[in-house]
Structures are given as C-alpha cells and as structure tokens.
Chain A
Amino acid sequence: MTFISRRDLLKRTVAVAAAAPVVRALERSAENLAPPEASVARTIQAGGAPGALESLSAHEMELLEAIVSRLIPSDANGPGALEAGAARYIDRALAGVLSPSREAYRSGLAALDRYAQSSRGKMFAQLSPTDQDSVLMDVETGAATGFTGSSAAFFGMVLNHTHQGTFGDPYYGGNRDFVGWDLIGYPGVRTMVSTTDQKALEAHQLKPNHKSAYDYGSFTRASAHHVSAEATGHQEA
C-alpha cells in the first residue's frame, strides 16, 4: 500500500497523457528533420541549390551565412562552413530537434546586427571580413553589448552548431559534398574496417569513401520511428 492515493496516481496519469501530444510533436519534428527516403544522394547533389527556409527569415539566414563564413572560412585550405551548408543545416535543425534554441537565434542574431551597427557603423553582413572578425571576437569574449545574457553563450552555441553542420553526416543537410570530412581527413562512414583498411589508414592510403550512414540501406532513418512502430499493445513475448 503506497501513500500515493489512487486519485493522485490518476492525476499523474492524466498529466502524462496530456504530455503525450507534445512528445509526439517533437517526434514529428525529428522526422521532418530527416529528409525523405533515398534523398541523401539528392541532398548531396543539390549543391548550393537553395530550398525554402524552414525557420529563419531571409535576413536572419543572410546574417547567419555571413557569420559561418567567418567561423570556418573558405580559403586556401578549401571550402568552409558556408559551402558545407552549415547555415542551412542550422535552419533545418531549428525547425526540429534544435527548436528550443530558436528564440536564442532570433534574439542573438538581432543583437549581433545591432552591435555591429552601433560599434562599427554597418550591419554585420555589410562589414569587411576584418571588421566582421573583430565583431565576432567581441561576441566570443562576451564583450559585445545588447545581448540577452552573455554574448559568449550565443557565440558558443553558433560555433557548436556550425561544427555540426560542417562535420556532421550529410544526411542532416550540412557537410555538403563531404567538404567537412575532406578538410579533416576523415575517410568516411564504413560498416566494416578490416586490419588491411586500418593499415592503409596508417600508411595514408585509405581513400575517402564519401558515404553517409544512410547510404548503407540497412539503417532505420527517422529517429522516432521505432517508438511509433511499437505503439500498439504493451505485452511482448
């Protein structure tokens, strides 16, 4: 006999039932995050072809692209975060898994532009690369004013997501043409690495295979798929 009354337990049950649609909504957005079947190659082939924005405004996207272009620039060492589609990755993720950060992006991007205007006299995207870098340094160190909380937190978040969009699996919309993996010498997702492969890697002779996890047909794509697939009956053998 517990001290929790049946009525209490019932109330809690109702609370869970009420929470369920929220969970399902999150699952749906996780599914939305994943491109439809067999689209991995298309995403990769799409290159810079712009699709509709999923969460950012056109102006926010322009600003975010200007930022990621400075975080990981295109230079003598090859394409950078813009070319990888990191801003596109962030836009898509903000409509799904990263939706709790949507407000932080809205207010942080606006604050960054205001700070650029007040301290350097121009909107961020209109500044020279050198001035853009100096603004970003202020944001990184927390010296930039006008942010909700510390500008350093905003900077850390954007840099983190830029890494995800540059070095993550292209399935999620970034790392276009595997530019991120090629930059750091990652030879690609494999499902088997033999001793011979390992020795080839050690001899700098293992060629990048340019494969996404989901180019191997054997894996379930949508992260929430399994939950909904099992949502019938609770007793199992």
Chain B
Amino acid sequence: MASRLKETDVVIVGLGAAGGVAALPLAQAGIEVVGLEAGTWLTRKDFAPDELRNNVRGWPQAAQKANQEIPTSRANASSPTAPRATVHPMMNGVGGTTLHYWGQSWRLNPWDFKVVSETKRRYGASRVPKGSTVQDWPFGYDELEAYYDKVEYEVGVSGQAGNIDGKIDPRGNPFEAPRKRGYPMPPLRWTEFIEKMAASAKSLGWHPFPGPASVNSRSYQNRSACMYHGFCNRGGCHVDAKNSTMVTTIPRAQATGRLKVVTRAHVTTIEVDANGQVAGVNYLTDGVEYFQPARVVLLAGYTYENARLLLLSKSKAFPNGLSNNHGQVGRHYFSHNMLAGVSALFPANTSSWYGLPAQGVAVDDWADDNFDHSGLDFIGGGNLWVYSDRRPIGAAGMSTFGRAPAWGSAWKAFIKENADRSNTAYIQKTTLPYEDNYLDLDPAVKDPLGFPVCRVTAEFKDNERRVAVFTQEKMERWYREAGAVAVQRAPVGGAMGISTHAYGGTRMGDNPEINVVDRWGFSHEAPNLGVLGASTMGTSGGHNPTLTVQALAWRTAEHLAKNWNRISSRRS
C-alpha cells in the first residue's frame, strides 16, 4: 500500500519552467505547496563545461526519469514508427530544463493569439489551412502583458525593448507588441560577427535587434553576470547567471516556508475521488509508493508527460484518462518547426568559440503576420536568429559544403581552415495544429514500470513547408549579404519527431468540446486540476515558448490564489 502523506493545499507535478514559477505566487499568497520533482537538486559543481557529457551524451546525470520514457514517433497513422531517440529532449532536476535550456525569453506576437480571426479579417476564411484545428486563444496579448512583465522581472530577462507603450525604439524589435516598460537588464553583448550580421540585415532594409534572454547581462538579484564561456547550450550555469527556476522563483517560494520540495519523486498517476474530483497524486521514490493528497493538483510536466499522465490516470469518472471525456487529451499537438534550417560558410573566422545561443541578432520582418501575405500561399512566418555558439566536437561535425570529403587528409585540411567559419540558423517558424497530428499512448513500448510511453504522430503540412521555403530564402539572402561563400538549406517537411518545443495535447480554450483546459488553465472536466506548460498553448508563433509558458503559469497560479475557496472546495 502506498504511504498516505499529510494533505497539502496544492501539489505541483514537476518543478521546471512552469511549476517552478507557479510555486512562487501560490506560496506568497499563503497557500501550502508540495512540489514533486523527478530529479534532484543540482549545483554549480554539476555544471562542468564538458561537451561530451552535456551535448553528446545528453546529461546522463540528470535525465533519470525522462530517459526511461522517451516518446516514440511516426509521421502519420499509416507510417512505421521511427527509430526511437536515445536521449529525451528534457531533463530532470529542480528547475527542470530551465537548467540547461538556451534561455531565449520571447513574448509572442499579438497575431499568434488571433491567427484565425486575423487571417479571416485580412485575407479571407479560405486562407486558414485546411485540416488545421487552429483556433484563437481565449484571450489576446493584452491579457498576458502584465504576466510577461512580471516574469521578466521576477526571473530576470535581458534584452532591448522595441515598443514601449506604442513608442518604437529602433534599437529593439519594431514588430514587438507594446510593453509597459523595458527589460530589467540590457541585452547580452554582441561579437564582431554578430555586429556584421546586424549591419548586413540593415543594408537589406530589415530591422535587426538583440534577442531577449533569461541570462544576466549584468549582476541581477545578487547573482553573477554571464561569463560567455561557450557551454550554455545544454549546459547548466557554473555562476548561476542563467535564470533557471532553480536559482530564481523556487528558492524565493521556499523562503516563505510554504513550498516543500520533494526530489526523486516519480509521479505515476493522478488520483480521482468518487465525485470525479482530483484527490492527489501517486508517486514512487526508490520503488516505495506514496500518495500525496491535495486540494488542487497542478500538472506541470513537459508536454509529452502531461498528456501521458492524464491518459494513464483512468478512473470511473474518467475511463479514457483524466479530463479526457471529450477525447481531447493529446489532440491539437504540434512541435515548433525548427528543422529546415540554413547553414553558411564564411571566408574568415567568425570567432564563435565562446558565447551562448541566446546571444545574437534577430530579424522579425518575416515572422508571424509582420508582412503582407496577400500574394502568398501560406500564413505565418519565422524568426531569423544568428548567434554565437560553437564547441569542438560539434565543429568537427560541420558540413563541408561539398568542398571536401568527410574524412582523410583533405577533410583535415578543410576543418583546420574552416572549423570556425560556419554559421547555422535553425529559424523558428509558425506551426499549426492539425486534425491528424496527435499524441497518444504507444501500444507496444513501455517504460520500466510497465506504463506505455507517449507516442507522437505528427508531420509538417503544406503551410509549414511553404513557410520553411520562404524563410530559408530570406535567411540565405541575409547570409549572402554578409559575405557567405556557400549556403546550404536543410530539407523541408517530413515527420515532426520529438521536440524541445512541443505544444498542445491539453489545449486551452473556452469550448470544452475541443479544449482540455479553460482560459485559466483549469480542466473543464475536473475543475481542481490545473495544467501548466506549452501543452496548453494552441499556437506557437515564431519564437521560443518558455517565457509564455511562465507567464501563463504565473497567471494560473494567481487565479488559483484569488479563487482559492471556489477551486479547492470539495464537492459532496
């Protein structure tokens, strides 16, 4: 039998980007929170600048749960399952993947909240891609602005504002939505190569600007500024300059005395009582079962695990999985199209051995609906992003641009000359949900506990392919303008596979027939269950999801605190 623990007000499943943020406003409001985390506490000592361990071997020291449940994937329902990835895109640890993520902290564009209505208004209803299940968000950018602001200051984001209350600042992004104030820190520094790329964008008539990062450009909240040592990509920060929830919101929540962090807690199911309300969660530590009762459960795993845990949590009230009586868990899934990148070879060194992937120059002229799509056959676009990030093993694996074989003396001469002369832009592109892209439980592959892993069935459709071709052409033009001597485009389209930017599966919306959670992030069917993370997002825009995930998490937690009696009350 499971040991029944003392009931708490709120249990948060997963203390990562979302759960780690939500804990703070709850604890500050006087609510008792238990945070269950599958990983452990890591410290600066764990964050060695070690490419083999971090990048090649994928953080074996901190993926103990994730690597047991790597999702399977296939392009569509009639295609074979692809070879399974060997490393999960996320990690375990207090702070979750904010420990080793890139730290790019973007707000979405207002268009991303209103893709359907804005497309109809500007181009006509026929321009919404066929088969897409995209819908407008239940609220617009203005609703989220205050929460973006809150997180930018609480967590700490560096950047250059481009639009404060409608006043455009040409140093920033002129396509940015209006913000109430600037970032709490100036942007990260630029290298000579990034300066050159910015100048080339300007000569094309575009509007380059430094991207926002949850990385300290100067000391902030008594933590160090960034050291630019070059191991930020899939690496934790050795000076705590990356603003993971481990060093920001979680310790502040703990300081209230109302957040209890439980590490190495492997949550297996969410328990439902006879009235169809959520009662708490079951978890294992070292094979020992615990039941943590709670008035409210906030599910804050990664997108794949959020959907999987709901599907695994079957009960009389929810025979097809928790909050799945409308069959919507796993639907409206998509992952950000960050494939179909562009690589360039330059005639001189770019001096990119140091720096970080959140340090760079962005162009939003071709993102979202920032340009006229009247004569085009797609909607949306992509953010062009050029950054400083290179390590030796990765450099050795660079494309030879058809100029040398892959090995031997000729390759060696090529790599000696060119190891620091390439640059790759992956381009984050608008990606939409479709009727036949979804998550479910794999019928064959199980984790070591015997539970099925998540299965991804998803492929890029025409709209995504057209956005990819269009933005690749822009990116190639930018590289050529900066003097690239060779440019290569990666293939467009195909299966989505598994991703670090996975959305949907528990989509947010007013209509319970086609959405799992309401506009506040609470289940339409089990109202004392909240879901946090990009699994609630219905569109991606062309920018990294984490800041939006964190703004939504803060908003859900604040809503819960303000409506505590109603949401936490037991039906009888």
Known: A190-B229, A193-B354. A12 touches B1 (CB 8 A): no
The stretch that binds A, out of B124-132, B262-270, B323-331, is B262-270
- Nearest B-chain residue to A166, judged by Cβ: B396
B37's nearest neighbour on chain A, judged by CB, is: A236
Nearest-neighbor residue (CB-CB) of B290 within chain A:
A234
A1 with B48: CB separation less than 8 A? no
Would A220 and B48 be within 8 Å (CB), given that A184-B396, A190-B229, A235-B262 are in contact? yes
Q: Is B448 on the interface with A (CB-CB < 8 A)?
A: yes
In angstroms, Cα B56 to Cα A159, docked, is: 14
Instruction: Using C-beta atoms within 8 Å of the partner chain, give the interface range for chain B.
Output: 35 or more
Determine which residue in A9, A19, A183 has the highest number of CB atoms from chain B within 10 A of its CB, and name it.
A9
B172-187 interface bits toward A, Cβ cutoff 8 Å, 1 = contact, 0 = none:
0000000000000000
Among A1-44, those with CB < 8 Å from B are 1-4, 6, 8-9, 11-17, 19-20, 23, 30
Across the interface, which residues of A come within 8 angstroms of B77, CB to CB?
none
A110 part of interface (Cβ distance < 8 Å): no
Enumerate chain A residues within 8 angstroms of B564, measured Cβ to Cβ.
Answer: none
Known: A168-B392, A235-B262, A236-B41. A77 touches B284 (CB 8 A): no
Asked if residues A191 and B238 are in contact (CB atoms below 8 Å), the reply is yes
Q: Which of B60, B415, B416 contacts A223 (CB 8 A)?
A: B60
**Does B46 touch A at the CB level, under 8 Å?**
yes
Q: Nearest B residue to A16 by beta-carbon distance?
A: B287
Task: A107 to B419: give the CA distance in the assembly, Å.
Answer: 33
- Asked if residues B228 and A226 are in contact (CB atoms below 8 Å), the reply is no
| Contact pick for A15, options B189, B268, B319, B449, CB 8 Å | B449
Q: In chain B between 274 and 290, which residues have their CB closer than 8 angstroms to a CB of chain A?
A: 274, 282, 284-289
Given contacts A9-B289, A184-B395, A235-B262, contact A1 B354 (CB under 8 A): no
**B78 at the A interface (CB under 8 A):** no
Per-residue interface assignment for chain B, residues 187 to 228, with 1 indicating a CB less than 8 Å from any chain A CB and 0 otherwise? 001011000000000000000000000000000000000011
Indicate the member of B227, B265, B287, B319 with the most A CB atoms within 10 Å: B287
CB-CB under 8 A from A6, the residues of chain B are 1
Q: How far is the CA of A161 from the CA of B269 in the complex (A)?
A: 40
Complex CA–CA separation, A225 to B289 (angstroms): 25
Q: Are A1 and B268 in contact (CB under 8 A)?
A: no
15 contacts between A and B (CB under 8 A): A1-B271, A2-B314, A12-B449, A13-B289, A20-B286, A77-B413, A163-B396, A167-B396, A184-B395, A191-B239, A198-B189, A201-B353, A214-B48, A219-B50, A224-B61
Q: Which of B282, B285, B396 has the most CB of A within 10 A?
A: B396
B272 interfacial by beta-carbon distance below 8 Å: yes
- Which stretch from B298-306, B404-412, B496-504, B518-526 is at the chain A interface? B404-412
Known: A234-B265, A234-B285. A220 touches B46 (CB 8 A): yes
Nearest CB in chain B: distance from A138 CB, A: 13
Partner of A189 from the list B49, B254, B419 (CB cut-off 8 Å) is: B49
Cβ-based interface call for B364 (8 A): no
Sample of 15 more A-B contacts, CB < 8 Å, known A71-B407, A77-B413, A198-B191: A1-B273, A2-B269, A12-B451, A75-B412, A77-B409, A80-B412, A167-B396, A181-B392, A186-B353, A186-B395, A219-B50, A220-B45, A223-B53, A224-B60, A234-B264
A58 interfacial contact with B, CB 8 Å: no
B284 CB contacts on chain A under 8 angstroms:
13, 16
B2 → chain A, closest Cβ, in Å? 8
B493 contacts chain A at the CB level, 8 A cutoff: no
In the bound complex, residues from chain B placing their C-beta under 8 Å from that of A13 are 284, 287-289, 449
Q: A17: which B residues are within 8 A, CB to CB? A: 287
Asked if A187 lies at the interface with its beta carbon under 8 angstroms from chain B, I say yes
- Residues in B whose Cβ lies below 8 Å from that of A231: 286
How far, in Å, is A57 (CB) from chain B's closest CB?
A: 24
Task: State whether A16 and B408 are in contact (beta carbons under 8 Å apart), knowing that A97-B60, A184-B396 are contacts in the complex.
Answer: no
A213 to B47: give the CA distance in the assembly, Å: 10
> How far apart sit A13 and B406, CA to CA, in the bound complex (Å)?
48
Which of chain B's residues have a CB closer than 8 A to the CB of A9?
A: 2, 268, 282, 289
Would A236 and B44 count as touching, CB distance under 8 A?
A: no
